[in-house]
Structure 1
Amino acid sequence: MTEFNEPNEPDEQQIAEALGAAANITLAPGPREAREAPAAAPEPDQEWTLPEGRAWVYLADPGRGLTKPVILGDGFNSGPSDLDFSWEILERGPYPFLTELRQRGYDVILLGFDERSASILDNARAARSAIQEAIARRVGNHPLTVGGFSMGGLVTRYALAKMEHDNVDHQTELYFSFDSPHRGAWIPIALQSFAHYIRRLNAAFSNQMNSPAARQLLWQHISEWDDSPETDKERIEFLAELERVGGWPRRPKKIGVANGVRTGVANGIDPGVRAFRGKGLGITGTHLYTQPAGEEKLVAQLRVVTLRKPQIRTSGMPEIDGAPGGTLEGFGILADELNKIPAIIGLGSEAETREHCFVPSVSAVALRDIDTHEKLHDPFPEDSGDSELDEYLCASHNEGHTLVTEELCTWILDRLP
């Protein structure tokens, strides 16, 4: 970036200081209110310190102790797992999942990680330790249920598979995933390029996009703002390691739910439309677009501080932002965070489209890859034998990623051992 500014525009040092003082720009699921100020969670009955993480335990009956353990792995974000945030999403949203578990006699074990953006393989050590701790503390011999939300479903999937590979008895009868990206997740290249473009001013967003977990989860990734999208080396290595230990645990029944539909109905987001625009002096000229198909298609024009307005183009990509699946307010989160900065700094922005597909339905139910329009949109039956899961359920409507609904949660609850 050069140092030339338009008249009356804040300089690079002023913008860097303002961005540095503002909340970090990082992508996270859940309602905006929950992301910003979750209410305090109740005190857990037990708290376990684990390698790479911790577990918060809520017993169904403290007088009986731990009898029917259900381990719920946390999802992708930046920084350590936050008990208040987890409780807000799992209990205070559309459906009180944790209350329902405990009322049915199950003990809730919320599995958190010291760094949610660390390698899935590293965080699987916390999952493995939580499983062993639950077995050691359990009263009786009721089998475990182990799974997770979003990335947590992959962390626990790998942990269980590796325990079987290592001949370690995990005593788990049911594995579940909740909108987990078994075949990959998606963050628009437009958002990734913007994250890296502002790295010298504030590195938080770029660091999240370049974190080990992001590289492992994302189907297409860029490390620099002007890179060509590709499957990152860390994802290739993660998938190879997952395959080395068997791909999936074989002993438990494997179920999963998707926050998207199976009918092929799109989420209503059109391809190639402007989703985000800079309005303040310091960012005017920045335009981010939803992903179009075709060759040399414009997905972003970038301008922050300088007079330069480089364009980002992609080729051979499907129109994935509008695909059936769980959505993430990626463009909306970016605009919200920039609009928290005082207007005098000139970073005012608008999200004309707030969300995009994050985990396509076919990825959440481990049915197909996500690299073509047909794979993303072709309808599939309720019980496709092509899925790597034993049983799955898709939502009636495309909805927010990991939205905890009665429809999906009661289906899981009815299948607990």
Structure 2
Amino acid sequence: MKNLTLFLFIIFVSSLSAQSYFIPKSSERSIVNRGGSTSITASIPFQGYDEEEAFFGQGEYEIFLDVVDGILDNPIIVLDGFDPGDSRDITGLYNRLEFGGENLADVVREEGYDIVILNAPVYSTGGVQIDGGADFIQRNAFVLIELIEFLNQQKEGDEELVVLGPSMGGLIAQYALSYMEQNDMEHQTRLFISFDSPHRGANIPVSLQYLINFLAREFGDETAVAVVENVLNSAAAKEMLVDHYLGHLADGSDTDQDPDKLLPGGAPDFRDAFQSELDALGFPQNVRNVAMINGSGNGTSTGTSGMQVVSTELDLGGSITADVTLRFTPPASQTNEVTFFEGFLIGVPLIDFSADSESSSETDGVDAAPGGTSMISSALGDGQGNQVIIDFIEALDQDLFCFIPTISALAIENEPNWYASPDIGGIHNSPFVNFYIPDSNEDHVTVTEESAAFALEEILETTLGQADLKVPKIVLAQNPIRGPIELQLGQVAGPNVNIRILDLSGKLLMNKTILANPGMVRIPHGLNSGMYLLEVNDGRTVKTIKLMVR
């Protein structure tokens, strides 16, 4: 049994604790002009849903001054995401902004902006140890509020802040900025960039959750159980996951499934409570809210609903074998067995477990939906020389799964179908006024040349000539507009650019193709005053902008 316990602990539990499961690994290259990290404690306490008292959150930050004047006068705050155990330090947070041989943080520092990284460490307060990277999103938001107020006091000049929230960091930023506005606190922030953040929830295949939990509980390994409790059952995971195994258990059981609870459901007393609280706050109103996401905008799925993820027999040594089968959640209105495990000793059954899943009539299961993706193999370190793990990875039929659905990353509230192609501005209204949406699904919080260009256009509030990046450049010169639409074109993918204008109901008002000659293009329109959607397609990406006509 020891071999079986050890194998399953390494395979499944380590997959949750590895940082690469949620955030792609970044390089460890050195960073110029570093200072040092400083601790910060929130002034506002927070009491979690299952806590008996309130605690003051803590964080650590480091300021990377610009390389132009070296003065703190134009701060951009970059936040941490889900990081149980604080496995990703400030260096890792900075370097995850790399793209195409460059780094977004380096580029903006060369333009006179200061980067401020806020990390969520493990800390003790009031005699209790708190894992900041997996803690309540609200408590982390109060730490961000403390940092915002500190920076506004310390900075020189009157430039407003920019906040970049990758992954869970986007929820922290949304909560903090909205809370400040609703409580008459000055945030002095002009721009919020949400980066593939789960505004409507995140996903880890429930099939994997069932298996991880069952094996940890069944074999009673204290370390395995601790990891399940500290990661999968952490406050942040229970607040974010739209389908959590705890929402399906029979009363009084840690592992057994209630056959009447097969539809997707979040962790009881956490998921719905958090989403309701976040929805009540809404998005900040005195900030420009934009989003760059990693999920496809045209409905491209990540696999197929109900598909087999893996079905294999593993030789664990010592005459012990295990049959493991995992599947994605099923198509709409269907039920399937998502988890099956059976262990044998010399062919004699030792232990078995299975769990089913049902999808609603409104949508196929979320596992295969369009969205920022995560990979099982990368979470397992490609085997790390362990032959059993290598055999498991080689047996995978499906490595990718949807981690942050496109619908969630765009904060679309009224679309129950995870597979819908977002019609921004129509019935699928998004709170973001500008977006970068790729055509194909990308690894979660991966910065590409295209998304970097989008972020830089928003941060610099100008054309990208300053940044000298060889990336597609499409900039709306003025918004709102009073005359012709003026587009500044730089490098684009094809010889032509297609321009479409739609009203907020989705009705097409203009469809025009122009030559992609670099420079300013003026487009007469004849539109009445109001809000419209401007779509610019260069043959590789589609940029959608909310256009205001005065």
Aligned-residue Cα RMSD (Å) equals 3.0
Query: Structure 2 residue aligned with 1:260, among 281, 290, 295?
Result: 295
Aligned partner of residue 202 in structure 2, secondary structure: coil
Partner SS for 1:392: strand
> Which residue number corresponds to residue 494 of structure 2?
none
Aligned counterpart in structure 1 of residue 67 of structure 2, from 61, 67, 78: 61
Alignment of 1:6-405 (within 5 A): 11-12=1-2, 15-16=5-6, 19=9, 24-26=14-16, 35=25, 38-42=27-31, 44-51=34-41, 52-61=58-67, 63-80=69-86, 81-91=88-98, 95-114=102-121, 115-199=132-216, 200-201=220-221, 202-203=224-225, 204-205=227-228, 207-223=230-246, 224-227=254-257, 228=261, 229-232=264-267, 233-244=269-280, 246-267=281-302, 269-277=303-311, 279-281=314-316, 284-293=322-331, 294-303=333-342, 307-317=350-360, 318-329=364-375, 331-333=376-378, 335-336=380-381, 339-340=383-384, 342-343=386-387, 349-350=392-393, 351-368=396-413, 371=416, 375-381=417-423, 386-405=429-448
Distance 1:21 1:291, change over 3 A: closer
In 1, the alpha carbon distance for the partners of 2:359 and 2:372 equals: 23
- Could you tell me which runs of 5 or more consecutive residues in structure 2 were left unpaired when the two chains were aligned: 42-57, 122-131, 247-253, 462-550
TM-score, with length taken from structure 1 = 0.85
Residue type matched to 1:191 in 2? L
**Structure 2 CA distance, aligned partners of 1:378 and 1:94?**
34
Distance 1:194 1:20 in 2: 13
> What is the CA deviation profile of residues 273-319 of structure 1, one whole-angstrom value per residue up to 9, with x for unaligned ones?
32234523356211111222244311110246772222110112523
**Between Structure 1 and Structure 2, which shows a larger proportion of strand residues?**
2
The CA distance in 1 between the partners of 2:22 and 2:60, in whole Å, is 25
Contact 1:29/1:400 (8 A) holds in 2:
no
> Which segment drifts farther, 287-296 or 154-163?
287-296
- Secondary structure of the equivalent of 1:300? strand
Which is worse superposed, 395-404 or 198-207? 198-207
Q: Once the 2 structures are TM-superposed, how far is the Cα of residue 41 of structure 1 from its aligned partner? A: 4.3
> By how many angstroms is 1:62 displaced?
7.2
Tell me the SS of whatever aligns to 1:376: coil
Write the letter of the residue equivalent to 2:283: W
Q: Work out the CA distance in 1 between the residues paired with 2:370 and 2:266.
A: 21
User: Which has more radius of gyration?
Assistant: 2
Give the direction of change, closer, same or farther, for the CA distance of 1:162–1:113 in structure 2 (3 Å limit).
Answer: same
CA distance in 1, matches of 2:31, 2:351: 51
Matched residue of 1:404: which SS?
coil
Partner Cα separation in structure 2 for residue 264 and residue 407 of structure 1: 19
Query: Does the CA contact (< 8 Å) of 1:19 and 1:341 recur in 2?
Result: no
Shift of 1:42: 2.6
The residue type equivalent to 1:365 in the other structure is: L
- Equivalent residues, number: 398
Q: 1:169 to 1:378 in 2, by over 3 A?
A: same
What is the TM-score when the length of structure 2 is the normalising length? 0.66
Shift of 1:270: 2.0
1:160 to partner: Cα distance: 0.9
Contact 1:70 1:106 in 2 (8 A): yes
